[in-house]
Amino acid sequence: MAKLRNIVLILILAQFWICALSAEEIPVPEDTLKEFGEASKKVLDSNEIKLLVWNLKKGKKPQFREGYLDQCASKDLLILQEAYLSDSSVDVYQSLNGVFSSMAISFFDNSGIGTGVMTGSSARPTSIVYQRSEDTEGDGRLTPKIVLLSKFAFKNKSKELLVVNIHGLNIVRNGAQRRQLDEAMKEVNQHDGPVIFAGDFNSWGPFRPRNLIKYMAGHGLKEVTYPSNEGRTEGIGVGGFLDHIFVRDLQVVRSRVRSDWPKNQASDHTALEAVLSYR
């Protein structure tokens, strides 16, 4: 009898959680992509691709503006997660001149403000598509995560660059993270050209990072490493680096963890930086 009561309670709570994330809170396709800003270039320079990968924590940390403007300046690619469409955050994003930003909204929060992943670039992409996960996180809100895929032309190169910006599913059942990766990897495998696959993979714990690196290697993607991992963001209490940059057919010129902006000043994640080249 107690077991039956528990099952009934779970079903009731499930209905409550489903109602908590109503249809209005997940944008329809025509409202999912947002664009703003003007690119400073028509194409990227294949000899030097400066990029930053960073989970913004919705711009809610006290030094977000200063941290964003300092770390994101003079970059060709900004691969950002937990971007937030509040007026104050958009004002910060648009403070950088010469940056075109495309954002894929995963869902709207209780304030009706969109959050998701955003890719900023010094050159306008030739194509932009998104993938919203069919699986949702079991944190009481049943929220999906989203992947943004953008292509960019190079000067004097016939092949384009594919940039995959991911915010990985976090509190999920077995197989959900793999399904999200598999869906994005379909586009990677079909792309004839260099690839950057980066973001917050939520790869915490002793097994997720190792499995992720092995999975990526199986698809021809190599992880960017750093002279020092000091300050790099890990899962709380369980370890495992959360943020990664993987590349295919690109050379790593240099890379670093932005430990000069420690966690919890501008975000709860420390940004990753790299300079790549395609020859």
More confident residue, 269 or 6: 269
Q: What mean pLDDT comes out for the span 95-107?
A: 97
- Distance between CA 56 and CA 117 in Å, rounded? 10
Start-end of H helices in 191-241: 208-218
90 pLDDT higher than 80: yes
φ, ψ for residue 87, nearest 5 deg = -60, -40
Q: Which is nearest to 221 in space by CA: 185, 256, 254?
A: 185
Q: Which is nearest to 50 in space by CA: 36, 81, 71?
A: 71
- Distance between CA 90 and CA 17 in Å, rounded? 30
Structure tokens belonging to residue 268: 């709860």
1 pLDDT higher than 60: no
Q: In this predicted structure, what is the pLDDT of residue 24? A: 44
Write out the DSSP string of 98-129. T-EEEEEEEEE-TTS-EEEEEEEESB--SEEE
> Domains of the chain, with CATH numbers?
26-277 (3.60.10.10)
15 pLDDT higher than 70: no
Q: What mean pLDDT comes out for the span 256-276?
A: 95
Sorting pLDDT into bands at 50, 70 and 90, what band is 19?
very low
Q: Are 55 and 82 in contact (CB under 8 A)?
A: yes
Q: Beta strand 114-121 with 127-132: parallel, antiparallel or unpaired?
A: unpaired
Percent over 90 (pLDDT), the chain: 83
pLDDT in tens, 165-213: 999 999 887 789 999 999 999 999 999 999 999 999 999 998 899 999 9
pLDDT in tens, 125-180: 999 999 999 998 875 567 899 999 999 999 999 999 999 999 999 988 778 999 99
- Total residues found in the chain within this entry: 279
pLDDT in tens, 242-262: 999 999 999 999 999 999 997
Burial (CB < 10 A; 0-12, 13-18, 19+), residue 54, is buried
Q: In this predicted structure, what is the pLDDT of residue 180? A: 97
Q: Which is nearest to 80 in space by CA: 121, 40, 130, 120?
A: 120
Between the alpha carbon of residue 11 and those of residues 3, 6, 47, 140, the distances in Å are 13, 9, 56, 13
Structure tokens belonging to residue 69: 């403007």
218 pLDDT higher than 60: yes
- Distance between CA 120 and CA 42 in Å, rounded? 14
Q: What mean pLDDT comes out for the span 93-104?
A: 97
Q: In this predicted structure, what is the pLDDT of residue 264? A: 84
12 pLDDT higher than 80: no
Which amino acid type is present at position 225? Answer: T
